[in-house]
Amino acid sequence: MASSVLYHSNSSYEVTMPLLQNRFQFLNPNAKSDPLFSSHAAGSVRVLLCVGNSTVNSETLDKYPSLECVVGSSTGLNHIDLIECRRRGIRVTNAGDAFADDVADYAVGLLIDTLRRVSAADRFVRAGSWPVKGEFPLGYKVWGKRVGIVGMGSIGRRISKRLQAFNCSIAYNSRKPKPNIPFPFYANIQDLASNVDVLMVCCTLTNETHHIINRDAMKALGKEGIIVNVGRGALIDEKEMVELLVKGELGGAGLDVFENEPCVPRELYALDNVVLSPHRGGAVLETLVRLQEIMIANIEAFFANKPLLTEIEME
């Protein structure tokens, strides 16, 4: 075991990634039986492996005064206080594009499900309603929809590529126009929403993007408009979205993320035009191998004093 790495998680589960386990010695402060973890060990920790969405804030960082690098296992880093890490000179990495294809697949799946009501139809059949209630209500076309992508990063670009196969017209919003992106750019979310049938939300959650999809944007999207969110729950003003969905002032939603996970607004349970998913957009078994390879590369690069593979630029 060449190097020790601190395993940081908000659960009591051990690291279950064999490639990482075979390469590094992990110190686990959550495991009371870990004989290697002590106050001395905490003081000498240089690398912290942040599993999932475990919080890394000033309180966390205070525990490890020698910490130099946080290796994240997710794409989004809203659970890590990047400003505090920058202040302390701590480097941060994320999962890079490990999940990008899978999240894009899932986003398109949620869109198809929401428009064609696949999950609702499945419930209809399983409940024995078909022979009793007759024909299931019609859904809506996917082909040719006008789609606005909020966040034209690695996931947004992949979503656009997939939706072009459905003859969808694409427009997008991001912090600034992207070079070599051939789609119309809207600097204002409300303007984007006014000109599309669907909003696909996949940008990073920051102070600037918190509730970027507000009531005005949803009202601009209209009564037949669809929202798909595979970014973070707080990108949408969830309370306003729920109210508009319940009142029939929004056409539907495909949601993989929520503001207060794992709590989901109960009002959504009864809506057949809403597809709910437990934050599993990028979670497939095959991708765990790629994720481990990225984390291993970052950890080994750190200890070898080489450039990190997926280091976050601290603005």
Is 279 considered catalytic here? yes
Is 232 considered catalytic here? yes
From 232, 238, 240, 259, the catalytic residue = 232
From 224, 261, 267, 280, the catalytic residue = 261
Is 40 considered catalytic here? no
The Cα 255–Cα 119 span in angstroms is 13
CA 243 to chain centre: 23
Q: Assign residue 282 a region: left if phi > 0, alpha if psi is -120 to 50, beta otherwise? A: alpha
CA angle 210, 310, 281 (to 5 degrees): 55
From 88, 210, 279, 290, the catalytic residue = 279
The token pair at 92 is 């941060």
Cβ count within 10 A of residue 278: 12
Q: Is 192 exposed, middle or buried (0-12, 13-18, 19+ CB in 10 A)?
A: buried
Spatial CA neighbour of 73 closest among 104, 56, 98, 44:
98
Residue numbers annotated as active site: 232, 261, 279
